[in-house]
Amino acid sequence: MEDLKKRKKYIEYVENVMNLTGVRWCQPYNAKRFKDNFKNWTSGNKDIDEFIQQSQLNAVYYQKNF
């Protein structure tokens, strides 16, 4: 069981590195990932939240979210 947890953490790490470096960047996948996480954060300002969320959903390149 512990080995399975270590493998899962490693896979998550590799996926994060690949996404951050753009090696495996995919617009639909990343838009969904951002959207799924919207409920987990807020700036405290609805207008700013909407701006950030739309920027994340419409990003066309991994280094250009805004």
Query: Residue 56: CB partners within 8 Å, gap ≥ 6?
Result: 30, 31, 34, 35, 65
Domain extent listing, the chain: 2-57
pLDDT computed for residue 64 by the predictor:
59
Residue 66 in this model has a pLDDT that exceeds 80:
no
User: Residue 60 — very low, low, confident or very high, per pLDDT cuts 50/70/90?
Assistant: confident
Backbone angles phi, psi at 46, to 5 degrees: -60, -40
pLDDT tens digits along 1-23: 788 888 888 878 777 766 666 56
